[in-house]
Structure 1
């Protein structure tokens, strides 16, 4: 059995902990034979565990503790600690493996709820499972999600050479905000979602960049955000925003503008890696 899970970007600027988008960058897991102890072979950093303490195995053991240990062969093209859902992909794969190896036959709703219990917010996990653009809400541990097609667009990911933990980025957010700020943030998010569903990225883009709820507090980790946003916009982009918790950035643009935007960014910030991606439309796949 082989499982493929897409990378994800969350928030889309104005949709904090609610809006997720699946991307054409993948983690794959091949299930090998049963073993005495869990073994994980991967192509990732040496700091990532290869035994039962691996987050994927921990997920399996918590959901289906009676599953026999296996050899898991993992290959991931998703950069870690960049805001592209690398840990989410591992958790989602773990939930799927628990369901299949444990004969649990979990429904999609149950899988998303299980994965969300590890992540504490459902935006990345729902997009990873379902693919495309997913709007979510978690209310009293119950998860609601709606999947919709994202308009055709080029996705350019700016990957810096430094990492940022989700904890550090999350810790920068305020515990409370003013009521009028919350109202404005909610209204911007509503218009952004409506514009995406209507296929109007020319309107959705500015809404993504008008966020009042999270980017204002996280842009300290991405000091080049405004400059990159300006350069991308000058070359035809709809929007440039922090991907999830950061520090990677996402530029959403017409396909016809992809190369011009990428060339302009590479000229000014050659130290970054730029990934040419698209929206993953299928979500988790099992082969």
Structure 2
């Protein structure tokens, strides 16, 4: 006679017929010298609504950036993340409707994958019983595990400037509020660059002098962001990653060089190819917008030849991801 199988606890299921809407800001990682540790939340927002269904259906209502290329099955990043988050909470997915409006362009260095991951985790967390819900530190831990690093997910969750780090398997982040005169301007090219390719161009080691110089600039950037924005140009100087990746995004590298030559704090946003500039006040922001806009009429310039730029003057998002429940 065989022994009975040990009792397996049944997983709970989210209550059907409820919905959670999550609005997540776009993010810029690194900010020049803060490789894999610094991030900034900006006023471009993806919106995700997860509605639980009574049956096993998986439905999609997708709009905005990149939707033609996105899967509409369980391989969608949002659905995969929901499944992982619910499993961590002791739940299993039944049917869901995924309604998403994507504003963040994919493969441009503005945190589109981090936004999807954070939105799905926060929706999953909001749709379980109150006694099973977790805090934002739990969201940060899981999102960082899935994204591989916290530099985008932390500002997406908490807003403002996030300084993030890892101790063993644990991720943590501290929130800094920048000076209210800091104005982010982004130039988004019409070309895409996969993060995996950009990371593959980085060397395994860098000279000690470069590491030391980069450490000093990252520290200076924290002071420039919060106390003295006149130092943003010096504070955003990078020694670790941008030069190594320039070959993969020549127009972006040329635009950074042009803007920095004009005295503006330009850098590659995340893995690129978007260029971000941190302006010291609205007047400088308008000058930067005009400078990039004028490149469209200058086909001889290496920052414009063959590339079209969308330019946005943004604000720093200070609150991070927000959840709204719909009964």
Q: TM tier, shorter chain?
A: over 0.9
Count of residue pairs the alignment pairs up: 284
Question: Structure 1 residues 82-91 or 143-152, which shifts more?
Answer: 143-152
The gaps in structure 2 that reach 5 residues or longer are 1-19, 298-307
Q: Secondary structure at the match of 2:174?
A: strand
1:205 alignment counterpart: 233
Question: Structure 1 residues 37-46 or 213-222, which shifts more?
Answer: 37-46
2:27 and 2:152 in contact (8 A); partners too: yes
1:134 alignment counterpart: 162
Of 206, 218, 222 in structure 1, the residue corresponding to residue 245 of structure 2 is 218
Q: State the distance in 1 between where 2:291 and 2:228 align.
A: 25
- Aligned CA distance change for structure 1 residues 136 and 60 (closer, same or farther; 3 Å): same
Deviation of 1:49 after TM superposition, in Å, equals 1.3
2:38 and 2:163 in contact (8 A); partners too: yes
1:151 alignment counterpart: 179
Q: State the distance in 1 between where 2:275 and 2:58 align.
A: 35
2:213 alignment counterpart: 184
Name the TM-score, length of structure 1 as normaliser: 0.93
CA deviations over 1:246-279 (Å, ceiling 9, x no partner): 0000011121122222122111146211122111
1:101 alignment counterpart: 127
1:130 and 1:282 in contact (8 A); partners too: yes
Deviation of 1:33 after TM superposition, in Å, equals 4.5
Name the TM-score, length of structure 2 as normaliser: 0.82
Q: State the distance in 2 between where 1:134 and 1:233 align.
A: 24
Q: Secondary structure at the match of 1:49?
A: coil
Q: State the distance in 2 between where 1:215 and 1:230 align.
A: 11
1:277 alignment counterpart: 314
Deviation of 1:220 after TM superposition, in Å, equals 1.8
1:64 alignment counterpart: 86
Deviation of 1:234 after TM superposition, in Å, equals 6.8
1:242 alignment counterpart: 268
1:17 alignment counterpart: 36
Of 135, 138, 146 in structure 2, the residue corresponding to residue 118 of structure 1 is 146
2:103 alignment counterpart: 77
Question: Structure 1 residues 186-195 or 57-66, which shifts more?
Answer: 186-195
CA deviations over 1:180-220 (Å, ceiling 9, x no partner): 322222222122123323x2122132121x21111111222
Q: Secondary structure at the match of 1:177?
A: coil
Q: Secondary structure at the match of 2:246?
A: helix
Are 1:52 and 2:78 an aligned pair?
no
CA deviations over 1:227-246 (Å, ceiling 9, x no partner): 43455457663x01100000
1:259 alignment counterpart: 286
Whichever of the two has the greater Rg, that structure is: 2
- Aligned CA distance change for structure 1 residues 269 and 138 (closer, same or farther; 3 Å): farther
1:135 and 1:147 in contact (8 A); partners too: yes
Of 10, 18, 40 in structure 1, the residue corresponding to residue 60 of structure 2 is 40
